Structure 1
Amino acid sequence: MNNKIETDTFINDLDKIAGVRQEISAGLAQMSEILAQAELGSQNTSGALGLSADIENINLAVNNLNQGVFRLLVLGDMKRGKSTFINALIGENVLPNAVNPCTAILTVLRYGENKQVTVNFNDNRQPEQLEFKEFKQKYTIDPKEAKKLEEERKSAFAEVSYAVVEYPLQLLSKGLEIIDSPGLNDTESRNELSLGYINNCHAILFVMRASQPYTLAERRYLENYIKDRGLTVFFIINGWDQIQEGMLDPDDEEELQAAETQLRQVFQTNLAPYCQIKGEDIYSERVFEISAINALRKRIKDQSASLEGTGFPELLRSLNIFLTQDRAIAQLQPAIILARQTYNNIQAAIQRRLSLLTQDVSEMKQRIDSVEPEFQQLAMIRDQFQAEIRATRDIQAKAVAESLRAYILNLGNTFEKDFLAYQPNLELLDFLNKDKRESFNIALQEAFERYTADKIAAWTLTVEQDMNTAFVKLSTSAAKYGASYSQVIDQITDKLSGKEVKFNPKTTKEDNSPIWTKWAMGLLSLSSGNIAGVAMAQAGFDWKNILLNYIAAIGVNSITSTLTGVFLGPVGLAVLGMGIGFLQADQARQKLVQTAQKELMKYLPEAAEAYIPQVRTGVEECFNTYEQEVIEQINKDITQRRTELDNLLQQKTAHEINLTTESQRLEAVTTAIHQQLEQIDQIYQTLS
């Protein structure tokens, strides 16, 4: 199939999703306007319905939809052709194709009317705007200097957080954002920077190279930072065309087929565990053999050129299905839920209002006073749920603290076995050679950094799973409390109207549940969030990033700095003085690890106690933020219901209300909101 067809289909489908997003946003905005005008118009009638919380939530949803993008994070080891791949994907040579470690600044590529680069810093400096040429000159250094900085444990651009490249490309204009990350074998601090973006992206494009199948660095990264974290990963095996180039006889079809079959077996064996969804094998939808350089060359010469044989048509088809179907529906669902919920709220409020309008002031006041016990029940439900959140917080904070203490202390017991995979190659006379001794010490510290990073990553995965379980339980509790809350609301409505009010038979109990319940269950995204806003159940509450920020405080740099004396101090001296010249290399390695293990165990209790308070605070912050948002939503709901009744009583006392005119006004509001809901539902259905 012609690549132009695939590319056009991808762009058209992204454009369709962007259009649907904007139409739904416009529908919600119209809902908000109708409600706001209804509240303003009620000043001279029966009083405001107390819809401020509904209006606020709709406006937040509109803002989220207007800012919505699909964010792809490109990961991979150095010299895998990540930048070439990105350039081929977007169809233009935007990013530099050869990036060394010190110029590998994390770069966000997004649409902009003008071509420009904005560099963001870690300190309080204002962002710096540069032309492309100036950016490349300023943030590129000679490879020799880069090597020297690496040996000195320094970073050329430590003050830079990330760069944003804006470019007027059609693909980017359809709501696609691409993040180019540093190489995996760069410093651990830069790896941590990439990790900070993983949870904030909709999908990861993991670039590998056919000529270096599944390296130790790639295995390590995938096993420690990707596996079992619920992430969507597309594997890009770049340079597939180079298999033939590396053969003794490039024209030998049989030899080529055998080489490709062998490589496919290697990749499938190692990548298959990352290509499972609920037990279903989707390897063919997630792993792609491509030639980025050939695709880029063709697209630069002719944007409509066929890319058959480069692997890009197959990749674009899968990306298209994932982004414009699976992710698009998940992204829009919260807005649909909110629209339906808003209509139900308005319908119920207006029915209560119309029932009360038939009463005189005395009877109305009596009925309003009669529901005070129900309002107390609502507050009791709120307090019970709040108590459960706090109890869960305390249990989890204690469990995580104990987990960290036990985990760190146990590192000493397993160090001799675990560190074998990380220790640098120890030559027989390295420690007798002054020049090599310094290099070995540097290699040893780097090995320990990798070991520490992987160990912390393994522990954080366990913590994330435990935290997720805790929030899933709170989600279940929210549904239970929400059901009780809805029953009390129905009792209030029945008391106020003097009869059992019947709602639309198509309305389910779930539809009638309050908005705060859906937020607490992770079904609504009511905050603008950070760079992406990934959260519980993929929407709503962003606890992972809160926890990540605190865990980062006990990451590679901090623990390494605490334990660095183990390797650069006592261990180095011990190895130097142990008669290495008379030992075989294997004996020297064993002695090195045993000595390091002994010294390590002296430092581990100190490390555990130093970082437990930070992690405990991080866990508590996750639940405190959740509690604050949930309780605020419940309080808004209770206040809104009280305000609704107070406004009516105040207006009824102040002047006579024409029942017929007011009924027509309120029914017109219901009709207008329902029409908007139907339009939004119809737009949403076009995705299925």
Structure 2
Amino acid sequence: MTTTQGDSMDDALGQFQKRQNEVTGALEELSDLARSLGAKSLNERIGRDLVRKLAEDRFHLVVVGEFNHGKSTFVNALLGHAALPVGVTPTTAAIHHLRYADQPEATVVFSNGRRESFPFEQVRRFSVGGDSHPDEVDFLEVGYPAPLLKERILLVDTPGVNDLSLQRADITYSYIPRADAVLFLLDAGQILKESERVFLQDKLLKASRDKIVFVITKWDLLNKDEQGEALGYAKEQLARLIKDPVVFPVSAEESLVRAEKGETGPESSGMPELVTHLTRFLAEERGRILLDNALGEGLNVVKLLQKGIDARARAIAMKSEDLARRIETLTKDLQGQAGTIEQRRVQIKEEVAGIKASARKDLERFVDDVIRQLPNVVDSAKGEDLKQYLPSFLSDTFQRWAEAETKEIATALEALAEKTVALVKDDAHESAKRIAETMGTGEVKRLDVQVDTFRYDMGIAALFTVGIGVMFANVLLGGLLALAAPILALALRGRFEGEYRKKALEQAPEVLRAAAAKVGPKIDEMVDDFAQKLDTWVVTAGEELHREVLEVLKSTEDARKSGLKDEAATKKDVEEQNARLGAAETRITTMRAELWAPAPAKEPDADRVRVADSDLN
């Protein structure tokens, strides 16, 4: 990447980094308060779930395009070095996760979860025609010292194919919906082919309309007049699919050559303008979601800490025997709470078992229905077309079933999650009442500590726009199609030499059942994974209030027994803690308001090309 491109990232991402450090500082202040109160579990949760998560979060940038669109050259231009193999045929056989590393490194992650490091120079083994086995590979993790990757960006390079409708299902349904931005590559010599138009309309725009950046590659191959004509055509056609499309013409080859030679100064490749827009979008639009989520969780922690400070203040005035008795009462109550939590967990298991059983029955019915249709399908197809038609029929029919089934499963799981959250909130309110009575505070307001953080635990950046149900449906569908599609589309090809119809009727049911045998366990696995996250959340949320108050009381009791502080000193501590907490709450509330405050009016982005009547004339 050239110096100009590197400089273009500094402003927006530098501002985001500054904000991120401020948010981290505010959370660490809460952590210090929790530690001083003796709330060990809360202190650990702040560090584990908030501070560390914020530090580890990355912007996911996904590159999509048909082969021969210069995709590998474009990715290399973003990296500022020819790190990945380039060719005139499809080169990327496996998904590449490109992250920052001080030295080039590579790891292959297999479908079964096994990881295996290998020399960076052997990355090209995973290109088309290499000696690797992409079907066994989940993705390739590549570390590289590129400035763009250092700025909290994970670049996902997807396999280029000759038809995007054949793109790997897990890219379409899993990677793209969860991406923070999608770079959709178009070829300057053949802008918006019909296959690309269909893919955009049927797949991409449904889940990612607000985060697509269109990149026209090989811009330097056109002369000035051709460039004007091509840009006008691209804008006109894209405007029919998406309002106000963002379009950048680039010459990745020119940018890469400059970077390799170490040239600096102004350039006409279009890459600096693209990088400027991209980093600004990630920092200002997607970055705010990450920071807002962390600040919202911080305010939830403030509420818990306030409960702890109140408990400590009341404990100071109690006699040691009285304090011990109340701690014992709360401990027993927490043990009783464990029974309520277990009841919620059993309910989750029962409903999940029902969802999986229903899905299995639906799968069996689907297979039986398709097998019954096969004689008519085979008889109606012309003999010479059967070899191509039958696999397509099986794949298309399965995809339609899978889309409907995954939506049904996701709807059921989302309803289960919402019901569980509501029940746990009711349980927490009842716990708060009992704690208040035990501590002698009488009736309390409905618990204001937020326990509905399940969305956060599932990944708020992705769920901000699509919701738990849609996200799970996409991920599940991608997993099912990735398993079944190769079996359905390829297993029958090449087998029909001679008696096409007879062999089709014999072998198609076997192929369909083989696909179902793969898909059934995958449904169970992914539903169980969702249920496990919900189960873990129930345990954490259900015990949280009791545990934090108990830890504070025991800390106060231990200090009293040890004679470390007298009552006056402890009261002073509580007053200081209360003042610090109030200041922390004000700081976080102010930061959150400023995060979403309207930005000052500024000149339109010169780097962002939009559809305008003047551009088309």
TM-score range (shorter-chain normalised) is 0.7 to 0.9
What is aligned with 1:659?
567
Give distance in 2, aligned partners of 1:417 and 1:230.
Answer: 39
Alignment of 1:8-27 (within 5 A): 8-27=7-26
1:212 corresponds to 2:224: no
Structure 1 residue identity aligned to 2:568: T
What is aligned with 2:266?
305
Of 205-214 and 291-300, the range deviating more from structure 2: 291-300
Of 454-463 and 174-183, the range deviating more from structure 2: 454-463
Assess, with a 3 A threshold, how the Cα gap between structure 1 residues 499 and 619 changes in structure 2: closer, same or farther. closer
1:74 corresponds to 2:73: no
Of 392-401 and 70-79, the range deviating more from structure 2: 392-401
Q: What is the Cα-based RMSD across aligned positions, in Å?
A: 4.8
What is aligned with 1:432?
none
Q: What SS does the corresponding residue of 2:245 show, helix, strand or coil?
A: helix
Give distance in 1, aligned partners of 2:168 and 2:547.
Answer: 47
What is aligned with 1:107?
96
Q: CA deviation at 1:78?
A: 0.7
Identity of aligned residues (%): 18
Give distance in 2, aligned partners of 1:633 and 1:486.
Answer: 8
Assess, with a 3 A threshold, how the Cα gap between structure 1 residues 407 and 265 changes in structure 2: closer, same or farther. farther
Contact 1:112–1:166 at 8 Å: present in 2 too? yes
Q: CA deviation at 1:340?
A: 1.5
Give distance in 2, aligned partners of 1:418 and 1:209.
Answer: 38
Match of 1:51 among 40, 52, 65: 40
Q: CA deviation at 1:24?
A: 2.1
Q: CA deviation at 1:335?
A: 1.7
Alignment of 1:36-435 (within 5 A): 36-39=35-38, 50-90=39-79, 92-98=81-87, 100-101=89-90, 104-114=93-103, 116-120=104-108, 122=110, 126-131=116-121, 146=129, 162-185=139-162, 191=168, 194=171, 197-198=175-176, 201-215=179-193, 217-218=195-196, 222=200, 226=204, 228-229=206-207, 233-239=211-217, 241=219, 257=229, 264-269=235-240, 272=241, 275=242, 281=243, 283-285=244-246, 287-293=247-253, 296=256, 302-307=263-268, 315-316=274-275, 318-364=277-323, 375=334, 378-379=337-338, 382-383=341-342, 385-411=344-370
Give distance in 2, aligned partners of 1:194 and 1:471.
Answer: 23
Structure 2 residue identity aligned to 1:76: G
What is aligned with 1:523?
456
Assess, with a 3 A threshold, how the Cα gap between structure 1 residues 268 and 497 changes in structure 2: closer, same or farther. same
Contact 1:74–1:179 at 8 Å: present in 2 too? yes
Q: CA deviation at 1:210?
A: 4.1
What is aligned with 2:608?
none
Q: What SS does the corresponding residue of 2:119 show, helix, strand or coil?
A: strand
TM-score (norm 2): 0.76
Assess, with a 3 A threshold, how the Cα gap between structure 1 residues 190 and 82 changes in structure 2: closer, same or farther. same
Contact 1:27–1:679 at 8 Å: present in 2 too? yes
Give distance in 2, aligned partners of 1:237 and 1:483.
Answer: 47
Give distance in 2, aligned partners of 1:220 and 1:54.
Answer: 51
Structure 2 residue identity aligned to 1:523: Y
Give distance in 2, aligned partners of 1:389 and 1:260.
Answer: 54
Q: What SS does the corresponding residue of 2:50 show, helix, strand or coil?
A: helix
Assess, with a 3 A threshold, how the Cα gap between structure 1 residues 87 and 612 changes in structure 2: closer, same or farther. closer
Give distance in 1, aligned partners of 2:202 and 2:265.
Answer: 40
Q: What SS does the corresponding residue of 2:184 show, helix, strand or coil?
A: strand
Contact 2:179–2:462 at 8 Å: present in 1 too? yes
Deviations 1:495-527 (CA, angstroms, capped at 9, x unpaired): 234334889xxxxx78x224xx2332x1356xx
Contact 2:62–2:179 at 8 Å: present in 1 too? yes
What is aligned with 1:469?
411
Give distance in 1, aligned partners of 2:515 and 2:427.
Answer: 46
Deviations 1:308-363 (CA, angstroms, capped at 9, x unpaired): xx665764565345311221121122321222222221111121222233222444
Give distance in 2, aligned partners of 1:325 and 1:670.
Answer: 34
Q: What SS does the corresponding residue of 1:73 show, helix, strand or coil?
A: strand
Q: What SS does the corresponding residue of 1:109 show, helix, strand or coil?
A: strand
Deviations 1:279-300 (CA, angstroms, capped at 9, x unpaired): xx4x424x54545445556777
Structure 2 residue identity aligned to 1:63: R
Contact 2:484–2:516 at 8 Å: present in 1 too? no
Q: CA deviation at 1:13?
A: 0.5
1:495 corresponds to 2:472: no
Give distance in 2, aligned partners of 1:292 and 1:368.
Answer: 67
Give distance in 1, aligned partners of 2:556 and 2:538.
Answer: 28
Assess, with a 3 A threshold, how the Cα gap between structure 1 residues 91 and 553 changes in structure 2: closer, same or farther. closer
Q: CA deviation at 1:478?
A: 4.4
Assess, with a 3 A threshold, how the Cα gap between structure 1 residues 75 and 684 changes in structure 2: closer, same or farther. same
Assess, with a 3 A threshold, how the Cα gap between structure 1 residues 683 and 635 changes in structure 2: closer, same or farther. closer
Q: What SS does the corresponding residue of 2:156 show, helix, strand or coil?
A: strand
TM-score (norm 1): 0.70
Contact 1:554–1:611 at 8 Å: present in 2 too? yes
Q: What SS does the corresponding residue of 2:306 show, helix, strand or coil?
A: helix
Structure 1 residue identity aligned to 2:543: N
Assess, with a 3 A threshold, how the Cα gap between structure 1 residues 117 and 493 changes in structure 2: closer, same or farther. closer
Give distance in 1, aligned partners of 2:213 and 2:383.
Answer: 31
Assess, with a 3 A threshold, how the Cα gap between structure 1 residues 676 and 455 changes in structure 2: closer, same or farther. farther
Assess, with a 3 A threshold, how the Cα gap between structure 1 residues 96 and 610 changes in structure 2: closer, same or farther. closer
Assess, with a 3 A threshold, how the Cα gap between structure 1 residues 205 and 467 changes in structure 2: closer, same or farther. farther
Contact 2:13–2:280 at 8 Å: present in 1 too? no
Contact 2:344–2:538 at 8 Å: present in 1 too? no
Give distance in 2, aligned partners of 1:235 and 1:64.
Answer: 27
Contact 2:185–2:214 at 8 Å: present in 1 too? yes
Structure 2 residue identity aligned to 1:175: R
Assess, with a 3 A threshold, how the Cα gap between structure 1 residues 232 and 224 changes in structure 2: closer, same or farther. same
- Unaligned stretches of 5+ residues in structure 1: 40-49, 276-280, 428-439, 504-508, 576-591
Give distance in 2, aligned partners of 1:598 and 1:289.
Answer: 52
Deviations 1:442-461 (CA, angstroms, capped at 9, x unpaired): xx4xx876665555554444
Deviations 1:451-499 (CA, angstroms, capped at 9, x unpaired): 6555555444434433443344344334533442343244234323433
1:615 corresponds to 2:523: yes
1:600 corresponds to 2:508: yes
What is aligned with 1:556?
485
Match of 1:573 among 482, 498, 501: 498
Contact 1:519–1:630 at 8 Å: present in 2 too? no
Q: What SS does the corresponding residue of 2:412 show, helix, strand or coil?
A: helix
Q: What SS does the corresponding residue of 2:456 show, helix, strand or coil?
A: coil
Structure 2 residue identity aligned to 1:519: T
Structure 2 residue identity aligned to 1:345: L
Contact 1:535–1:544 at 8 Å: present in 2 too? no
Contact 1:374–1:491 at 8 Å: present in 2 too? no
Aligned length: 589
What is aligned with 2:600?
none
Larger radius of gyration: 1
Give distance in 2, aligned partners of 1:60 and 1:540.
Answer: 19
Q: CA deviation at 1:600?
A: 2.7
Contact 1:202–1:232 at 8 Å: present in 2 too? no
Assess, with a 3 A threshold, how the Cα gap between structure 1 residues 351 and 540 changes in structure 2: closer, same or farther. farther
Assess, with a 3 A threshold, how the Cα gap between structure 1 residues 60 and 479 changes in structure 2: closer, same or farther. closer
Q: What SS does the corresponding residue of 2:452 show, helix, strand or coil?
A: helix
Structure 2 residue identity aligned to 1:484: D
Q: What SS does the corresponding residue of 2:160 show, helix, strand or coil?
A: coil
Q: CA deviation at 1:74?
A: 0.7
Contact 2:169–2:479 at 8 Å: present in 1 too? no
Q: CA deviation at 1:365?
A: 5.1
Assess, with a 3 A threshold, how the Cα gap between structure 1 residues 475 and 251 changes in structure 2: closer, same or farther. closer
